[in-house]
Amino acid sequence: MTRVACIGECMIELREEADGRLSRSFGGDTLNTAVYLARLGSQVDYVTALGDDSWSDELIAAWEAEGVGTKRVLRLAGRLPGLYIIQTDTKGERRFSYWRDTAAARLLFQAPEAHTIIASLADDDLVYFSGISLSLYGDEGRGRLFDALRAVRSAGKRVAFDTNFRPRGWPDREIARMAFRQAFACADIILASTEDLELLFESTGTDEVLAFADRAEIVLKHPDLTCRVMLQGKEIVVPGTPADDVVDTTAAGDSFAAAYLHTRLLGKDPEAAARAGHRLAGQVVRYRGAIIPRDAMPQP
């Protein structure tokens, strides 16, 4: 079985209900992808840092219950996980508010204790990270992350990058652009949305990622749910069908990434992978929260 490592941050999630009450769960883009990868049958570890508090204990237990490996979670004394609140409008679109500036996950690529964890990434068949992962670490941490990803590729393994771009996570737009370009250069598979690319690079966004199409597998998602895959000089277009009963779009892209990568790891072609991504994402948006009930997972 292939091994996947997902790098990033999981936070405590508070969801505001219609009556103003808050329900507690957990979420984070790459953690969401890790959970769905595990549910689909991939062997996946989550690579992050947490504190030594009871909430961090709960997160570890919840991930393990989902089949996500936690042996490469660094525990830092005196630190806490990040926190965010989701507010959802009548169309299912959500707004996030974050409390994460001192979260433990930000120290993963700076903590001396993480050396063994970082070195172990070269043992995985696929390492997955996102634009939100990039925003966590600062210049020094990102440099160490990119060094680790280059070691992964030198070992003959693959790297996948998802463009998830959130402006609030970055001190400066130009710093984000430089980091994304470095991520594109490190990735064998780039999962990109035109919305993310235009938000970051403006009118040149698509060109920025297509510049790497000569060597990387480019998965370009459009607002109308059309998915274009560029691989080895060929382009495959896979349309998606909007769900009629959208409740919450949280983790739509994260679940698409999980199904796409899992299908490709099984050796199936990009068209089958994109269809699998559409199928899972289309189900996820019918439920509240990032992680849908296990019995709601679509059949293969």
Running DSSP on this structure, what letter comes out for residue 69? B
Between CA 196 and CA 202 the distance in angstroms is 9
- Nearest to 26, CA basis, from 38, 40, 15: 15
Q: Do the beta carbons of residue 250 and residue 27 sit within 8 Å?
A: yes
Q: Please report where in the chains the tokens 């393994």 appear, as a residue.
A: 157
Gyration radius (Cα) of the chain, Å: 18
Can you point out the beta strands (E) in the chain? 3-7, 11-16, 22-27, 43-50, 73-75, 83-88, 94-99, 126-130, 158-162, 189-193, 217-221, 227-231, 234-238
The token pair at 93 is: 């679109």
Phi-psi region of 17 (alpha: psi -120 to 50; beta: other; left: phi over 0): beta
Between CA 249 and CA 267 the distance in angstroms is 29
Q: Do the beta carbons of residue 5 and residue 128 sit within 8 Å?
A: yes
Instruction: Return the SS3 of 198.
Output: helix
Helices (H), ranges, 76-224: 115-119, 131-136, 138-154, 173-186, 194-201, 205-210
Report the pLDDT value the prediction gives residue 92, as an integer from 0 to 100: 64
Report the pLDDT value the prediction gives residue 261, as an integer from 0 to 100: 98
CB neighbours (10 Å) of residue 59?
Answer: 24
Report the pLDDT value the prediction gives residue 19, as an integer from 0 to 100: 83
Report the pLDDT value the prediction gives residue 286, as an integer from 0 to 100: 93
pTM of the shown model: 0.94
Please report, in tens digits, the pLDDT of each residue of the chain (300 residues total). Answer: 789 999 999 999 888 887 888 888 888 999 999 999 999 999 999 999 999 999 999 999 999 999 999 999 999 999 999 998 888 777 767 687 889 889 999 999 999 999 999 999 999 999 999 999 999 999 999 999 999 999 999 999 999 999 999 999 999 999 999 999 999 999 999 999 999 999 999 999 999 999 999 999 999 999 999 999 999 999 999 999 888 888 888 899 999 999 999 999 999 999 999 999 999 999 999 998 889 999 999 987
Report the pLDDT value the prediction gives residue 86, as an integer from 0 to 100: 81
Catalytic residues: 254
Q: Do the beta carbons of residue 113 and residue 74 sit within 8 Å?
A: yes
Which residue type is seen at 188? D
Burial status of residue 155 (CB atoms within 10 A of its CB: 0-12, 13-18, 19 or more)? exposed
